[in-house]
Every structure is written in C-alpha cells, then in structure tokens.
Structure 1
Amino acid sequence: MIPIAEVQQCEHIWAMLPSTTSLLSPIPAGWQVLHHAILSDGTLALVTTDVDFASEWELILASDTPVDPPSRIEQLYKIGRARLLTRAAGGWQDGPVFPLETAHPLIDRFSDGRWLVVASRTRSEPNARVLAPDGALQARFMLGDAIEHVVIDSLDRIWVGWFDEGMGGGEWTVPGMEWPPSCNGVACFAPDGAVIEMPSWPEEAGLIADCYALTVVGSGVWASPYTDFPIVRFVPGQPARWWRSELTGPKAIAVDGMHALVAGGYGDDAARLTLVRLQEPGDGQDAGMVITWRMPLRAALPVQNEWAPVWEPPALLAGRGDTLHLIDDGKWHQWRVADAVTAFGDAME
C-alpha cells in the first residue's frame, strides 16, 4: 500500500481516479431545494418547496429583537408545498406535489413507484408517509425522532439510521418491545412500518451512538457509526459482520464485494475519500486502507472558531450501493468502487 502521507502529496493520483462528473440544471423558478437523495436505481431526486426558507432565516438572523425561529419556520412548512423532481436527460422530470409538513424531509422510492417521505424530526407523531406516484397519501407510520438516514433495499424494506438525539427513543413505544428500534442506532422495517428483526450489534465493535454513514446494498446495509467507526454489515436473518477501521468521522460509504469507498471525516478530513479493502470472514479484522484522495470540496471562509468547517458542507455526500456521490457547487461527482479497485487495487497488493 502507498503511505497515506505520500498519497496526499501526489496530486496526479487524484486525477487518475476514475469518476463521472456532470453539471446540474437549474430547478424550476419559484422553488428551493430542501434535500438531495440518490434512489435505488442511481437516479438523483430532489425535494423542493415553494416556501422561501432561506430568506426567512436571513430575516431571523438579522433581527435585533428576540424571535422564536422554530415557531416561525414551523408555520411556513405547515402551509408550504413540496415537489419531487428526478434528474432526466436535459433537465428535471416533474414528480408529485404534496403538503410539505416538515422542513427536513428525507425520501426514497419503492420498486412499484410509490414514494417514502420521512420527517427527520418529530414530537412523538407518525413521521413517515407513503405516497402514491401521483402524490396521494396512502399510509402514515412512526419511524422515530432524529433520523439521519432512510434507504429502501432490494426487497422494499426500509432501513433507518438515527443520530445521537434519537438513540434514547424519546416517547416512542412499540408493542412487544422493551426499547424502541432507534436505541439500536440502525433498524429495519417492512413497507408498512412493521419492525423486522435484525442481527444483534456486535459488542466487540464498540458503542453505537450515532449512525454517521449508511448505505444499502442488495437486501442489507453497511454502516460506519460513532463511536469507534467500525464498518458493519447488517442483513436480516444473518449474523452481523464487522471490521475495525482507522477512519474517524466518515459521512458516506459505498461497497462492492470486499472493497469500499469511505468518504468524509472530521476537520480537514471532511474532504477525504479512501479505498478500503475488507478481509473475510468479517469478525473484527482490520479494514485495510489502500489509497486516499481529497474530494473537490470548496474551502470554507476563514472563521476564528475551532469548530468552524475547513470545507464548505456539500449539498450531498452519500453512498448508494457501489457508488459514492458528491454534489457540490452545482456539480454531481460519482465514483464507483469497482473502477477504483481496477485502477489501484491490483497495484497496491
């Protein structure tokens, strides 16, 4: 393997990483983007709204008098509309229009064309909606508060990953369960919201307190959660598999076979993209770092604050199956695990 420090000094290696980059067309006038998502078939989808949240927050931040931002913002999303768009050749394809209800909607699409729309935050109210392809409401159910990830697998099962505020479960109760599913950090649900039994968390992998990175591959998911950031594979009906990792703070993961692309990290490592090799059988082996690059993020404005980001947060950084996706500054970058392995894997043995 090439030493990481040496790789970071070799800018030409980044240029050798196979990738696909495309420019995104402007969205229809009068709408703002709330959320980007990569669907199961690799399609890019947007949740847009006719509510001008950006201007409202500017007014709130510029106000000299105390205001209650949550209340003002909540009123807007209660009266606003959402519109789903999917990327098509030459622009955007219109999707359903429906009541917004939340400022933080997460989405995915079932194999039959129905949509799953989930509010990231909830006050003990059902926060998942199943919409027909035309936007008609078909069902509501509860998936818990403080949701970080929602993805649908090849069997139309819903996988959810929570951030730390959701791990306690709040007031959520599920009949027959002592603790709500969110206490596991990652959980699986049927299309109607029923809980599906999952393999237990491998205790040797450390404490799970926040599902930092999550991607669906086939009928299961891969995750890299806080606190120790192992790489973990969950498939219902099978034991969990896991690998130790030295990569801290990853925000996205894509997997193909026994290799993964892991992206993101703390501070300057927010721009890190690493090709990782996994070893059988997956019961605590080390995840070997093959080679590391820097993603083309924009540098953040200098701020005298140790917590300030080094790089501007991208609009999207996510893995979906075997591909890592980055959307930033109107550009959509894609990296496939197999392409990285072909370019560098054999040479790093």
Structure 2
Amino acid sequence: MQTTTALVPYARLPRAHPHRHVLTSTVDVFGTAHWLLAERAPLPGVDLPPFDALVASVEPDGHAELTELSAVRTRRPRLDRLPDGGFVVASSRTRSHEDANQVQLFDVLGRQTSSFSVGDAIEHLLVDESGHIWVGHFDENPVGIRRWSTTGRLAWTSYGAPIPGLFDCYALNVSGTVAWACPSTDFQLVEIRPTRPDRPVTVRANRVRGAHAVAVHGERVAFYGGYREERNRLAHGRIGDTSVEPTDVGLLTLPDGSPPGRRRVVGRGSRIYVQAEPFTAWGVFDLGS
C-alpha cells in the first residue's frame, strides 16, 4: 500500500484582493510567498501594453505587505523577490533573443531599475540568497540552466558542464547559493555549487523519471510528480556518491486529502511548495520535518 502524505497549509493570498487576477505566484528563498496580481486576465495570444501590477507578499509569520510595480511588460510571467526587497519579473516566452525587457528588476518602491534578456522558454526562475537569478529552460530553448547577476551578466552556465542529456530542466531547487536539478532526458540528480571552483557540478544517476520538483535534506531526497498516473507521486531516495538509491514511493495530496489538479510547484532546500488552482493558497511538504 502506498503511503499518502498531505501538504501542510502554508500561505494564502490576502482576502482584500478577490477581484484581481493572479498572473503568477512563488515562494522565495527566505520562505515568503508572493502573488503577482493584475486588474484583468490577459487575452490568449494578445500582448498586454505596459501595465501597473501589484505584488502581495505573505511572510512565514503571516505578516502581509503590498508592492506596486510600475510599467510591467510580461508574457507568461515568472516572479521572485530579491534579497534587498525588490522584485524580478520575467517573460517566460519571448519572440526575440535580444528582448531587452524580458527580465525586469524593480526596487522596493516598485520602480524599474534595469532589464535584460536571458532567452526564451523559461521553465524556472529562482533567486538565491546572494541575489543571483537562476533560470532553467524547457526544450524549446535547450540551453539548460544558467545563473545571472542582477546586471544581466552570465555568472554560470551548464553549457560545457558534465551533465549528459540536459535537454529540458524539469525540476530546479535553489536554496542558499546551491542548486539541485532533475533534467530531461536522463533525469539525473544534479548538484550545482558555482562557488566551488574545483568541482561545481556533481551528477548522480537516478531512476525516478519525470519529476517536476525535488527536495533535498542531508543525504535524503524527494521527487514530486511524474508522467500520467504518477502525476502525484512522491518518491524518496538516499543520495550516494554516484547515484540515488530509491527507498519508498507514495502520493502527495492537498491538505484535505484530494489530488491537486492544475498546480504550480517550487523547490527550496528541503521543501516542496505546491499551489493548486485557483492559485490563492500554498501548501508545503518538508522533507526535513
């Protein structure tokens, strides 16, 4: 019999904004949840002109705050907060490799301070504790995983790294300044420590296929998601020198025991955050608890 694990309620969008549309949402490296809100939903295939948006943030202690962002330009946005309190908003799709407004940085007052391009097909965008921006791409732009400074300087790239079969960044977890990834097509567990010059990348063989989120705690690892009937799978393993040894497999559900439908997932250290439609609440699974 499979073990069933229920998510623990974590953060909820403040009730003062029921009529705004949730463009995207995330949980940052310090555990604060954020929602990017607009007055209306974008029409399919239609680009919005520059618009003012609102970020609603809920800290781990429940304290909420609002930040108004001016002149946001985005197509299918990704969002995260910078360590100085500002925000980064990026268009996951762009028609030009030189779209200077693809990634916008905003200060704590919501004013744009800079912008640059990181390339089309963003699957994951996560800011680490040092303020670097990690971007994992999906297969329509198979450039892999890259780490950017807030000035648009490429600080690390998986190009040329010993990661066989890196085609689509299915799962990306950024905690501290370390990243863990589980990319297609081989779904190895990839540990990236860019500050370790002698060996920044460690690749371990892994038998779990198709996971969209990963959590790591010491020598333990958990993979969430999979193909078809394994969509809600939660697979546990132990990290060895060269491979991940599977230990057990179960299911991850919403706090009420129901399976998530459409959802967002974010991996941060030992935690996997899951947000199900209508995308107003986050639940958490913590491998370290």
Q: SS of the residue aligned with 1:292?
A: strand
The secondary structure found in structure 2 opposite 1:14 is strand
Counterpart for residue 189 of structure 2: 231
Q: In the alignment, which residue of structure 1 is the partner of 2:262?
A: 313
| Offset from partner CA, 1:101-160 (integer Å, 9 cap, x none) | 224111112211121111111122121111011111110111111111111122221111
Alpha-carbon distance in structure 2 between the residues aligned to 1:198 and 1:146: 16
Alpha-carbon shift at residue 80 of structure 1 (Å): 3.6
Find the partner of 1:277 among 238, 248, 252: 238
Q: Quote how far apart the aligned CAs of 1:44 are.
A: 0.7
Q: Does the CA contact (< 8 Å) of 1:217 and 1:255 recur in 2?
A: no
CA distance in 2, matches of 1:14, 1:28: 33
Gaps of 5+ in 2: none
Q: Deviations over 1:193-219 (max 9, x none)?
A: 10114464325xx31111000011221
Q: What's the TM-score, normalizing by structure 2?
A: 0.87
1:252-276 CA deviation, whole Å, 9 max, x = no partner? Answer: 1121222222111111111011222
User: Which amino acid in 1 is paired with 2:248?
Assistant: I
- Give 1:14's aligned residue: 4
- Equivalents in 2 of 1:227, 1:201: separation in Å? 15
Q: For residue 292 of structure 1, what is the aligned residue in structure 2?
A: 249
Show the counterpart of 2:154.
195
Cα separation, 2, equivalents of 1:331 and 1:156: 26
Supply the distance in 2 between the matched residues of 1:197 and 1:92 (Cα, whole angstroms). 34
What is the CA–CA distance in structure 2 between the aligned matches of 1:22 and 1:117, rounded to whole Å? 23
Q: Are 1:255 and 2:245 an aligned pair? A: no
How well do the aligned residues superpose, as a CA RMSD in angstroms? 2.2
Using the TM superposition, give the Cα deviation of residue 292 of structure 1 relative to its aligned residue in structure 2, in angstroms: 1.9
What is the SS of the residue equivalent to 1:249? coil
Summarize deviations over 1:31-70 as a string: whole Å, max 9, x none: 11011111111111011111233xx5xxxxxxxxxxxx52
Aligned to 1:295, what secondary structure does the other structure show?
Answer: strand
d(CA) in 2 for partners of 1:187 and 1:23? 29
Bigger share in strand? 2
Q: Which residue of structure 1 lines up, in the alignment, with residue 286 of structure 2? A: 336
Q: Displacement, 1:331?
A: 4.5
1:212 to 144, 161, 170: 170
Aligned equivalent of 2:54: 83
Once the two structures are overlaid, the 10-residue window that deviates more, 137-146 or 192-201, is 192-201
Aligned match of 2:273: 325
- CA deviation digits over 1:233-282, x for unaligned, max 9? 112223310111111111111212222221111111110112221012xx
* Aligned residue type for 1:138: T
**Segments of 4+ moved more than 3 angstroms:** 88-92, 197-200
- Uncovered stretches (5+) of structure 1, i.e. residues with no partner: 1-5, 57-68, 168-182, 300-310, 340-349
Query: Normalized against structure 1, the TM-score is what?
Result: 0.73
More displaced stretch, 330-339 vs 319-328: 330-339
